[in-house]
């Protein structure tokens, strides 16, 4: 179910103790609300995903579910090894990690290049050094005006 730009998942615990989707008529044991940008954070910042997920429902179930989600790690290599064998699964896993790291590094470099272009080349953003220099000048002018006001008040 989509909710306010995000995803809301309603789950109930069945007789075997398994989580099943809850229908709209029954009260769910736990509700998971994911923000709209959860997928992007899942790819690049796993901790931010867990801090932005909102759990509702029974406090005990929600706390246990949060613990499971924080400690959940998918062993893709073991799952692939069941179908492909150990060596191809290991090589595919290493290839996947290197592709992911390369993709992540490329995106980081792209973001740095866009920032540099926006600040240095196109003047869309003001460089931090100019902002601090402006602040220093404002403080100096404020102090000069204050001294000038004191001089004028002494003359009167």
- Domain residue extents for the chain: 2-71, 75-111
- Assign 45 a pLDDT band (cuts: 50, 70, 90): low
Mean per-residue pLDDT over the chain, rounded: 82
For 143-154, write each residue's pLDDT tens digit.
999 999 999 998
Residues 6+ apart with CB under 8 A from 6: 33, 34, 35, 36, 38
Given phi > 0 = left and psi -120 to 50 = alpha, else beta, which region is 3? beta
Cα angle 107, 109, 114 (rounded to 5 degrees) comes to: 95
Token digits for 39? 């997928």
| Least confident segment among 14-23, 35-44, 89-98 | 35-44
Amino acid 2: pLDDT = 44
On the question of pLDDT at 67 being above 90, the answer is no
> Which pairs from 16-24 meet CB under 8 Å and 24+ separation?
none
* pLDDT, tens digit (0-9, with 9 covering 90-100), for 84-120: 999 999 999 999 999 989 999 999 999 999 988 888 8
Q: What is the pLDDT of residue 142?
A: 96
| pLDDT (0 to 100) of residue 91 | 94
Average pLDDT of the segment spanning 77-82: 89
């Amino acid at each position: 179910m989509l909710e306010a730009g995000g995803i809301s998942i309603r789950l109930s615990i069945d007789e075997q103790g398994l989580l099943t989707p809850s229908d709209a008529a029954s009260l769910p044991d736990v509700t998971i609300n994911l923000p709209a940008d959860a997928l992007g954070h899942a790819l690049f910042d796993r901790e931010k995903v867990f801090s932005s997920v909102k759990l509702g429902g029974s406090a005990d179930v929600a706390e246990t579910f949060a613990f499971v989600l924080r400690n959940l790690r998918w062993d893709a290599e073991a799952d692939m090894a069941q179908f492909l064998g150990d060596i191809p699964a290991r090589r595919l896993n290493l290839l996947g990690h290197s592709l992911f790291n390369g993709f992540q590094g490329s995106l980081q470099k792209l973001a740095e290049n866009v920032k540099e272009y926006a600040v240095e080349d196109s003047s869309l953003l003001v460089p931090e050094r100019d902002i601090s220099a402006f602040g220093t000048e404002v403080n100096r002018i404020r102090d000069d005006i204050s001294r000038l006001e004191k001089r004028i008040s002494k003359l009167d």
